[in-house]
Amino acid sequence: MKVEKISEHIWSIQSWMLIPVRIWLVADEEGITLVDAGMPFMAKGAAKTIDSLGAGPLRQIVLTHGHSDHTGSLPSLLERYPGVPVYAHEAEIPYMEGQTLYPRRKKLEQNVAPGLAKPLLQDEHGKLAKVASLTPYFTPGHSPGHVVYYHEADQVLLAGDLFTSKRGNLHRPMPMFTADMEEAVRSSLLLRDIQPKRLEVCHGGPVLNPADQLEAYLQKFAAKR
């Protein structure tokens, strides 16, 4: 397992499962927010890192979505840190709790115990509220309730499976596991508004100034349709 400080307030924890799997720790004055929970075997390394940073307690866990490679260590982490809340988009919760079939899947998936995750808070206009120092954005497509998290001060976008990447270049999310590729590509347009300096994905390395690649990314998708 590899731990890397990627900005002033954010650490990346990476392991491998044929492909890279990344989760992130974000520190602020109140403690630590864990973004995604990775695979079950990542729990020990994540907890060791949380406890060794000296950045305060684990305050909450936020999920980009509910697929098993993003939720696997939740049971072990919550046993170690009882009472820590878990948040996901309200649209994702029925799928990850096994109440509703994920699009293009053949079987229900109960990746998170029913009632465990709370919906991310929204204002009266449906805009997602900040979680500590992170601003969530609804980016459906890879899954029905996919969310990305932007750290404005560090200008880092924690993008889950909105993209994959290779050698610093943007690539589509994995088609086999993506519910609606056209919707996922539409969700990528938020890069124009946010203009992050660094984008992090679960499966792949960082992409610097990703908005500069957006037009080429969109053209490549159009050519493959």
Q: Kindly report, residue by residue over 173-183, the tens digit of the pLDDT.
A: 999 999 999 99
pTM greater than 0.85 (yes/no): yes
Residue 150 has phi, psi (to 5 degrees) of -110, 130
- pLDDT at site 221: 81
Average pLDDT over residues 134-141: 98
Domain ranges in the chain? 2-221
* pLDDT the model gives residue 124: 82
In this model, does residue 224 exceed pLDDT 70?
no
- pLDDT-derived band at 223 (thresholds 50, 70, 90) equals low
* Residue 17 binned pLDDT confidence (cut-offs 50, 70, 90): confident
pLDDT of 88 higher than 70:
yes
pLDDT tier for residue 40 given thresholds of 50, 70 and 90: very high
Write out pLDDT tens, residues 95-112: 999 999 999 999 999 999
> Which single residue is written with the structure tokens 């924690």?
158
pLDDT number for residue 207: 98
What CA–CA distance (Å, rounded) separates 149 from 130?
9
Q: What is the CATH number of domain 2-221?
A: 3.60.15.10
Residues 141-196 have pLDDT tens digits of 999 999 999 999 999 999 999 999 999 999 999 999 999 999 999 999 999 999 99
Per-residue three-class SS string for the chain: CEEEECCCCEEEEEEEECEEEEEEEEEECCEEEEECCCCHHHHHHHHHHHHHCCCCCEEEEECCCCCHHHHCCHHHHHHHCCCCCEEECCCCHHHHECCCCCCCCCCCCECCCCCCEEECCECCCCCECCECCEEEEECCCCCCCCEEEEECCCCEEECCCCCEEECCEEECCCHHHCCCHHHHHHHCCHHHHHCCCEEECCCCCCEECHHHHHHHHHHHHHHHC
The dihedral over CA atoms of 38, 41, 42, 48, expressed in degrees to the nearest 10, equals 150
First-residue to last-residue Cα distance in the chain = 37
CB atoms within 10 A of CB 163: 30
The confidence score (pLDDT) of residue 89 equals 98
What percentage of the chain carries pLDDT values higher than 70? 99
How confident is residue 123, by pLDDT bands cut at 50, 70 and 90? confident
State the average pLDDT for the chain: 95
